[in-house]
Amino acid sequence: MSFPFSYSVLGLVPGLVLTILVAAVVLYTSLIIWEFCLRHPEVRDVCDIGQYLFYDSQLAWYLTAAMFLLNNTFIQGLHCLVGAKYLNVMTNHGACTIIFVAITTIISFICSLPRTFNTLSKLASLSAFFTFISVALATIFAVIQPHPARFTPDPDRGEGGGGGEPVVLLWPAAGTTFIAAMGAFLNISYTFIGQVTLPSFIAEMKNPKEFNKSLYVVTIAEVIVFSIVGSVIYAYTGNQYMTSPAFDSLSNSVHKKISFSFMVPTLVFLGILYASISARFIFFRLFDGTHHKGNHTVVGWLSWGAILAATWVVAFMIAEVIPFFSELLSIMSSLFDSFFGFIFWGIAYIRMRGADYGSDFYRKRGWRGWLGFILNLAIIGMGFYFLGPGTYASVESVLLKYQEGNFGSAFSCADNSL
């Protein structure tokens, strides 16, 4: 539900173009990952790939592992934050926000205790269904509501001096800052970029050769749903009343609670998915070659629980230190998606084609070689753009939020509800 906000910042045309562009790049790089994993069935996760890409460097493995675990834990923190927002909405800020973050953390920890993906695969289908219902309801409610939340008919009397009928722009508004535009772009990118988990899934598939079919289906569905939801909600809400996530733009509190409630399974599932992936990564390496790895032992279960607890404690801290939904998305996207969404897979393409045709493969393969080479250099460059200017814009946005004092400070009881 960050797409309507991103479109309001970027303008409808650039927003839709970037949505399609990011989706296409993610699909392309995901196919590179799929090809790489088929060639190297021995890889178990993105850390093994990172080590291979940088010429079997042990340092590369450890650095990739650190980014991998931080990426997953930041995502857990995001879901702790959104869970607290949901509880604040449903209870009308019935308790200190820190308590709500803690409740979300504890529930997520308990739900992440199963040690196999078998249970999670069933939850994945359920959460995807409920997410679709949630965004569909929010879109319908945005269309049928008489006016957006905080609406005022006087153009000069709204929050920040902006009121009147909703204003929808095809292009960015005059005075849009680089920080705002970059944050909106990173929000779009984060929603699509999830390649970091693909090697772990492919490694556990019975027939990984069929994986590419799911990539095409998922990408097409994502582009259609995200574009329609983002465009329609933005069109009926306008720049003056847009929020992130967009649930807060609904003027009817019942509509807001109903649509947000259908998002709860996804809030829980995605958090426990990334927690489980992190815990499996650590657990399998701690107990590789021991009977604790594949058997139900006291030591194994205590260790598994301790690892999960550690990730959720760190996630709780992240949610409290960066209590801003859009800015937390941007920081995650710039720091980790730069590598796991772009840089790694551009390098992977060059390494694979070099292994097939030699280091000058782009010359031997004609126009296809040059096209692939230039495209993947551009993907690597895009990753470094995320890492440099993207991180700068994200951090500056967080500092501005703290200066504005909209939600208090870190570890604040202030209401962060929609």
Look-up: residue for tokens 């990539």?
215
> What is the model's pLDDT at position 227?
94
Residue 381 lies in a domain: yes
Omega of the bond leading into 245 within 30 degrees of 0 (cis): yes
The whole-number pLDDT of residue 409 equals: 63
Helices (H), 262-386: 264-286, 298-321, 325-332, 344-357, 361-364, 366-385
Of 324, 414, 312, 326, nearest to 97 (Cα)? 414
Q: Count the domains in the chain.
A: 1
Instruction: State residue 121's pLDDT score.
Output: 65
Is 19 part of a structural domain of the chain? Answer: yes
Supply the pLDDT for residue 230.
93
Q: What is the pLDDT of residue 162?
A: 65
**413 within a domain of the structure (yes/no):** no
Task: Name the residue among 250, 407, 273 with its Cα closest to residue 327.
Answer: 407
DSSP run (H or E) holding 45: none
pLDDT at 21: 94
- Are 189 and 260 in contact by the 8 Å Cβ rule? The answer is no
The reply to whether 410 falls in a domain is: no
Torsion sign across C-alpha atoms 208, 37, 340, 184: negative
Which domain CATH number covers 67? 1.20.1730
Residue 411 lies in a domain: no
Which residues form the domain of 76?
Answer: 3-404
Specify if 417 maps to a domain.
Answer: no
Q: Is 158 part of any domain?
A: yes
What's the rounded Cα separation, in Å, for the pair 342 and 143?
Answer: 36
User: How many C-beta atoms surround the C-beta of residue 407 within 10 A?
Assistant: 16
- pLDDT, one tens digit for every residue, the chain (418 residues): 789 999 999 999 999 999 999 999 999 999 999 999 999 888 888 888 999 888 888 999 999 999 889 888 988 988 888 888 888 888 887 888 889 989 999 998 998 888 766 666 667 778 888 888 999 999 999 999 988 888 887 776 655 556 788 888 999 988 888 888 988 888 888 888 888 878 877 877 788 888 889 899 999 999 999 999 999 999 999 888 888 778 888 888 888 889 888 888 887 788 888 898 899 889 988 888 787 777 778 888 999 999 999 999 999 998 888 776 667 777 877 888 889 889 999 999 999 998 888 888 888 888 888 998 999 999 999 999 988 988 888 888 878 877 776 555 667 777 766 5
